Amino acid sequence: MLEIRDLHASVAGEPILKGLSLTVKPSEVHAIMGPNGSGKSTLANVLAGRDNYEITGGEALFEGKSLAELEPEERAQLGLFLAFQYPVEIPGVSNMEFLKAALEATRAAQGKEEWDSVTLLRKAREACKQVDLDPQFLKRGVNEGFSGGEKKRNEIMQMLLMEPKLALLDETDSGLDIDALQTVAKGVNSLRGPERGIVLVTHYQRLLDYIVPDHVHVLSGGRIVKSGGKELALELEQHGYGWLTGGQDGGNGKEDRTA
């Protein structure tokens, strides 16, 4: 469903991704790891179509369509979902209102039946429960005054409702306490299915104990430098990235606990 070939991309004119290839098939969970600044968020943002993130070479296909030619909302309507590393606040726009707009737009585009407000509210409450968010959060402004962990849970709550085909989770685990990590992992696992692909960006093996990936990739210097099975994550946990990157990125990923 996702086919990335020799992708080059720059951020505000600065080349960041330098020949990245990755294939995600339905039902698969891929974990992407790598030092700080190696380009993981860049990859997620390029796929989602953020302004200033420009594909300069290669291609990225989603469901056979070239992402470069689609507006961000069109990608979302096709079923691509990004859980943000740093979810932004939208003051005054209630979570519920936001979800309603998002679900109306995507469900219609995907030919799914429309949910009336009663159904929507019920589903939203269920999704809140699944990630251990008080349903009162539905009334608050989107991420407005949420704690770091609450923001992350809010992202997963949205994902559960939107039932995307491909979910990109950018460090959803960082900033979560241990219980929340399990709750969120359970939420993500509940979405696993034969039709769905999941890409997890993470720094920690711990998340992968709960969401067991089919493939693990190491991103460094804008390229995937190593791929393997779930054991690779364990290896990284023990040895860091130095043996793979030759120290070129400097980071070892363990500094980012508070992100």
Partner 1 sequence: MSSQAELDNSELDRVIRSEYEAGFTTLVESDTLPPGLSEDVIRAISAKKGEPEWLLEWRLEAYRNWQTMQEPNWAHVEYPPVDLNAISYYSAPKSMEDRPQSLDEVDPELLETYKKLGIPLHEQEMLAGVAVDAVFDSVSVATTFKSKLAEAGVIFCSISEAVHEHPELVKKYLGSVVPKGDNYFAGLNSAVFTDGSFVYIPKGVRCPMELSTYFRINEANTGQFERTLIVADEGSYVSYLEGCTAPQRDENQLHAAVVELVALPGAEIKYSTVQNWYPGDEDGKGGIYNFVTKRGVAHDNAKISWTQVETGSAITWKYPSVVLRGDNSVGEFYSVALTRHAQQADTGTKMIHLGRNTKSTIVSKGISAGKSSNAYRGLVRMGPRAENARNFTQCDSLLLGDTCGAHTFPYIETKHPSATVEHEATTSKVSDDQLFLCRQRGIDPEKAISMIVNGFCKEVFKELPMEFAVEAGKLLEVSLEGAVG
Site pattern 212..251 for partner 1 (x: CB under 8 A): ----------------------------------------
- CB-side exposure of 216: number of CA atoms within 13 Å? 22
Q: Is 210 in the site for partner 1 (CB under 8 A)?
A: no
Q: 52 near 39, Cβ under 8 Å?
A: no
Query: What ranges make up the beta strands (E) of 49-135?
Result: 53-62, 65-66, 80-83, 90-94
Q: Binding to partner 1 (CB under 8 A): which residues in 108-167?
A: 109, 141-142, 158, 162
Choices 33-41, 89-97, 193-201, 209-217; region in contact with partner 1 by CB under 8 A: 89-97
* Residue 68 interacts with which of Mg ion, ligand ATP, partner 1, none, CB < 5 to 8 Å by class: none
Nearer to partner 1, 50 or 123 (CB): 50
Nearer to partner 1, 53 or 241 (CB): 53
Count of residues that bind Mg ion according to CB under 5 A: 3
Instruction: Please give the angle made by the CA atoms of 46, 21 and 30, to the nearest 5 degrees.
Output: 80
Of 201, 200, 198, 188, whose CA–CA distance to 165 is shortest?
198
Cα 244 versus chain centre, distance: 24
Q: Tokens 């219980």 label which residue?
A: 179
Cα–Cα distance for residue pair 219/115, rounded to 1 Å: 40
Choices 21-29, 72-80, 169-177, 220-228; region in contact with partner 1 by CB under 8 A: 72-80
Nearer to Mg ion, 40 or 75 (CB): 40
Choices 48-56, 128-136, 191-199, 235-243; region in contact with partner 1 by CB under 8 A: 48-56
* Residue 196 interacts with which of partner 1, ligand ATP, Mg ion, none, CB < 5 to 8 Å by class: none
Q: Is 71 in the site for partner 1 (CB under 8 A)?
A: yes
Q: Is 202 in the site for Mg ion (CB under 5 A)?
A: no
Q: Which two tokens stand for residue 81?
A: 């979902």
Q: Distance of CA 131 to CAs 46, 154, 193, 203, 240, Å?
A: 27, 8, 19, 21, 31
Q: Quick check: helix, strand or coil at residue 206? A: helix
Cα–Cα distance for residue pair 37/125, rounded to 1 Å: 37
Which residue in the set 38, 41, 42, 106 belongs to the binding site for partner 1 (CB under 8 A)?
106
Nearer to ligand ATP, 26 or 250 (CB): 250
Please report, as ranges, the residues that interact with partner 1 according to CB under 8 A: 48-51, 71-73, 75-77, 81-82, 84, 87-93, 97-98, 101-102, 105-106, 109, 141-142, 158, 162
